[in-house]
Chain A
Amino acid sequence: MASHSAVLSMSKIISPFWGGRLGNTVKVFGTTLTSRRNKTLHAPPPAKYGGRHTVTLIPGDGIGPELLTHVREVFRFSCVPVDFEVVHVNSAVETEDDINNAITAIRRNGVALKGNIETKHTMPPSVKSRNNLLRTSLDLFANVMHCQSLPGVQTRHKNIDIMIIRENTEGEYSSLEHESVSGVVESLKIITRNNSLRIADYAFQLAREKGRRRVTAVHKANIISGDGLFLQCCREVASGYPDITFDSMIVDNTTMQLVSKPQQFDVMVMPNLYGNVVSNVCAGLVGGPGLVPGANYGRDYAVFETATRNTGKSIADRNIANPTAMLLASCMMLDHLKLNDYASLIRNAVLTTMNETRLHTADIGGQGTTSEVVQSVMRVIQSKGQLISEI
């Protein structure tokens, strides 16, 4: 294989100078090289010591802290071998020290679970969204969201199963704005070929991995030529996946179709802003912001959160928030860490509570409190007690 020959030729170059001393290092380095080339979509992170993973936890604002506390409670109860490194980010200060600390922690651990950090309007425009800074600094280029109708939740539309892959770093979220003339503000939307190819490739690979049949690109290329570039890149990538059907749809038609016939969509890929709109519409269609988990994947890092990224300030600290989205996000994280058994255990418990016990919080029409739902989840986990000792 090419990689092996690279290692061999490297050791041939280095060994005349340093004999066998660096030989081992080269072999180790060489192995890393090969594993990089064979890297699958989600590579396990390195922060593992003594069999326990370390994950960065960013509580955020609003309902974030309480939901993440519940996640830790469930993890502790289920003996999940994950330790959390908590990093607080204060949204009320103008300096970027807090968010930079969080970014460093994530670079160290490779994986994070976070609540949404509020962007206060009272701050001057130079203070950028902390969440956005995190995504762009860590180059978390793919936002993946899987919207599925849950049998236990009453919605207007049934049988929805849509995967949304949204470009997460550029587009309208470049945060490049200036006031050229007083009273005239320009905001730049950047679309690049590299990022478009990257996200399209990610989308098709994921579709193939999950056995999905169709990928739809959402755009507004008739008006905005940046989207024309995006569409072109998607088409190029699509030609390399003949087993998957590719089509495209203009974003306004997409939203119209979503509210009338959402069952027609399979996998959707799109630039940043349309992703924001479409993911929120889909989350609303399957039951609301409390149900859907989201993941942000980069080449080296992964950050998990709720899909619609709400701070939920109005329902904070009232024990009424729906913990489902955050718990399912933590299960996605466990899958990413290859702790699949624990992930399935917790996920099944959450879905059982949702669909069989029908213990619902207010946002989906029930009267349960957050703690009641979490207690129920833990009860289901306990009833599967055998499994924990086997893991």
Chain B
Amino acid sequence: TESYIRSVSSCGHLYVYKYMQTVTLIPGDGIGPEISAAVMKIFEAAKAPIRWEERNVTAIKGPGGRWMIPPDAKESMDRSKIGLKGPLKTPIAAGHPSMNLLLRKTFDLYANVRPCVSIEGYKTPYTDVNLVTIRENTEGEYSGIEHVIVDGVVQSIKLITEEASRRIAEYAFEYARNNQRNSVTAVHKANIMRMSDGLFLRKCREVAENYKDIKFTEMYLDTVCLNMVQDPTQFDVLVMPNLYGDILSDLCAGLIGGLGVTPSGNIGANGVAIFESVHGTAPDIAGMDLANPTALLLSAVMMLRHMGLHDHGNKIQAACFDTIRDKKVLTKDLGGNSKCSEFTDEICRRVKDLE
């Protein structure tokens, strides 16, 4: 939410000033710091009212032996409620779970939102993609409950609860309403997983009753996949449990050009939202000014829209898309041979021109 200071000048005119909004910035590892710097530069050029608070998230062992994120990071997030995160290294044999998982658990980030919009100028076999995948991010197949029943038989438990299903369905419909989307499709496999996906579907249907202005449909996961690769324009907002969401959101990212250009946001309880780039840390090009900041930039634009700063969001997005469409200054992964800094400067220039 925005805060304003209303002040009355000496001549009686009413002035309204926007406060700077604090955002917790987690640069991340690998190319994280350079793309975060790029985003901060572009935001400055756009005069976005954002004050960045940089924090580090390396897992530390808290009292009681539990792994947790550093307390100053947690405190900053709890205060600002909005976060922007670069790619985090997944530790192997570090003894602690992945940082993404820790963040998810700490802030109860229950919804993962990925808007997939075709980028004009970055050609893929699919044009006119404009859909949003909303994935339940806390339970489902990723509940982590697994047992070895007898030697050679592994059982994984997929958990679906009424509460989580209702919560994600409500978020999906609210998102659709707030972003002028026309329909919400629930993706499921209730023909096979009768009870679990059946429960998920039932909750979606119940919530749909309260949102009569939004069209609600249901579709099997396989049918969605089949139709998605033939004609992705038929889809609008998709809501689904964890595993299907994981696969489908990456499928949709592939349609528009991959993880290097796909934004992502995680919505938590208590109004917390963390926006992130979902690509890896790319250690092979870290520190060489070759990285593509588009994914993090588009996630930051998503963040601006979430905060109600639509004007700034649209301006920055337009500048970014124009730069890509123009094809003169592109990073290597987009098909050009410019540096990250050159790409960033070009976007800054366009943003200033759009003033």
A residues touching B (Cβ–Cβ < 8 Å)?
Answer: 119, 121, 125-129, 132, 156-157, 172-173, 175, 177-179, 183-194, 220, 223-226, 228-229, 251-253, 255-260, 273-274, 276-277, 279-281, 283-285, 288-289, 308-310
Identify the closest chain B residue to A278 (Cβ).
B225
Among B45-53, B70-78, B227-235, B304-312, the stretch in contact with A: B227-235
Known contacts A192-B152, A259-B251, A277 near B222 by CB under 8 Å? yes
Q: Could you give, for residues 225-261 of chain B, a 1 whenever the CB lies within 8 Å of some chain A CB and a 0 otherwise?
A: 1111110000000000001001111110111001100
26 contacts across the A-B interface (CB closer than 8 A): A125-B194, A125-B195, A156-B125, A172-B189, A175-B194, A179-B195, A183-B161, A184-B162, A185-B198, A186-B157, A187-B158, A188-B157, A189-B158, A192-B154, A194-B152, A220-B243, A223-B142, A225-B146, A228-B154, A252-B250, A255-B225, A256-B254, A259-B125, A259-B254, A276-B222, A288-B230
Shortest CB distance A279–B (Å): 8
Find out whether the CB atom of A284 lies under 8 angstroms from the CB atom of B229: yes
Residue from B195, B227, B253 in contact with A185 in the complex, judged by beta carbons closer than 8 Å: B195
Q: Which residue of A lies closest to B157 (CB)?
A: A186
Known contacts: A187-B157, A226-B146. The answer to whether A256 contacts B221 by CB under 8 A is no
Nearest Cβ distance between residue B169 and chain A, in whole angstroms? Answer: 14
Q: Which residues of A are found within 8 Å of B189, using beta-carbon distances?
A: 172, 273, 276
Query: Inside 8 A of B229's CB, which chain A residues have their CB?
Result: 258-259, 281, 284-285
Given contacts A172-B192, A187-B158, A226-B154, 15 further A-B contacts (CB under 8 A): A127-B194, A156-B125, A172-B141, A172-B193, A175-B192, A179-B195, A186-B196, A187-B159, A187-B195, A189-B155, A191-B154, A258-B251, A280-B226, A284-B225, A310-B223
Contact B226 A119 (CB under 8 A): no
What is the CB-to-nearest-CB distance from A15 to chain B, in angstroms, rounded to a whole number?
A: 41
Number of interface residues of B (CB under 8 A): 51
- The reply to whether A188 and B155 form a contact with Cβ atoms under 8 Å apart is yes
Chain A's closest residue to B242 (CB) is: A223
Please state if B254 and A255 are interface contacts (CB–CB under 8 Å): yes
**B225, A280: Cβ atoms under 8 Å?**
yes
Contact of A256 among B126, B230, B251 (CB under 8 A): B251
Contact call A190/B222, Cβ cutoff below 8 A: no
Chain A's nearest CB lies how many Å from the CB of B112? 12
Residues on B with beta carbons closer than 8 Å to the beta carbon of A277: 221-222, 225, 247
Residues of B within 8 A of A (CB): 124-126, 141-142, 146, 151-163, 189-196, 198-199, 201, 221-223, 225-230, 243, 246-251, 253-255, 258-259
The 8 closest A-B pairs by CB, nearest first: A193-B152, A256-B254, A284-B229, A252-B250, A183-B162, A125-B194, A156-B125, A119-B191
Residues of B within 8 A of A224 (CB): 141-142, 146, 156
Q: CA–CA, A125 to B198, complex, Å?
A: 8
Q: Are B195 and A229 in contact (CB under 8 A)?
A: no
Which chain B positions have C-beta within 8 A of A192? Answer: 152-154
Chain B residues whose CB sits within 8 angstroms of the CB of A186 once the complex forms = 157-159, 196
Q: Enumerate chain B residues within 8 angstroms of A190, measured Cβ to Cβ.
A: 153-155
Closest-by-CB residue of B relative to A259 is: B254
Q: Closest B-chain residue to A156, C-beta based?
A: B125
Residue ID in chain B nearest A118 by CB atoms: B191
User: How many Å from the CB of A50 to the closest CB on chain B?
Assistant: 40
Residue of chain B at shortest CB distance from A124: B194
Q: By the criterion CB–CB under 8 Å, are A129 and B192 in contact?
A: yes
Q: Given A128, A177, A189, A191, which contacts B141 in the complex, CB threshold below 8 Å?
A: A189
Q: Are A289 and B226 in contact (CB under 8 A)?
A: yes
Q: Which of A186, A279, A310 counts the most B-chain CB atoms under 10 A from its CB?
A: A186
A273 to chain B, nearest CB (A): 8
Q: Which of B141, B159, B162, B251 contacts A255 (CB 8 A)?
A: B251
